[in-house]
Amino acid sequence: DVKVTQSSRYLVKRTGEKVFLECVQDMDHENMFWYRQDPGLGLRLIYFSYDVKMKEKGDIPEGYSVSREKKERFSLILESASTNQTSMYLCASSSHRAGTRGEQFFGPGTRLTVL
């Protein structure tokens, strides 16, 4: 069974803290993604990566950075957490290799609360 795991289901942090959200996939996928999900706004893409050490900004990258040192791991970093970053964070991975369907596989999500 394919799997995307996220380090925490629930996280509570204080304003100004540095926050690390970790995502690991076991499918040897090239592509990994970070989204945030807020009521009424759907899923919004923060950053994605199509290879180790490669990253591209999504639609809402401000206040976030990412790291992809190994193919299976993609980290989202909040350098200085703020209350407006309270949200559900979803990680996903996909492959664009020939013969694949190209769909994204999602992790269970991390609900982050910044106080």
* Shortest reach from residue 40's CB to another protein, in Å: 6
Q: Is 31 in the site for another protein (CB under 8 A)?
A: yes
Nearer of residues 17 and 36 to another protein, judged by Cβ: 36
Nearer of residues 17 and 41 to another protein, judged by Cβ: 41
Side chain identity, residue 30: E
Spatial separation of the C-alpha atoms in residues 34 and 91, rounded to whole Å: 5
Q: Is 40 in the site for another protein (CB under 8 A)?
A: yes
Q: Which of residues 52-71 bind another protein (CB under 8 A)?
A: 56, 58
**Residue 28: left (phi > 0), alpha (psi -120 to 50), or beta?**
left
Applying CB under 8 A, among 42, 69, 84, 99 the residue interacting with another protein is: 42
Q: Is 106 in the site for another protein (CB under 8 A)?
A: yes
* Shortest reach from residue 80's CB to another protein, in Å: 27
Applying CB under 8 A, among 7, 11, 22, 43 the residue interacting with another protein is: 43
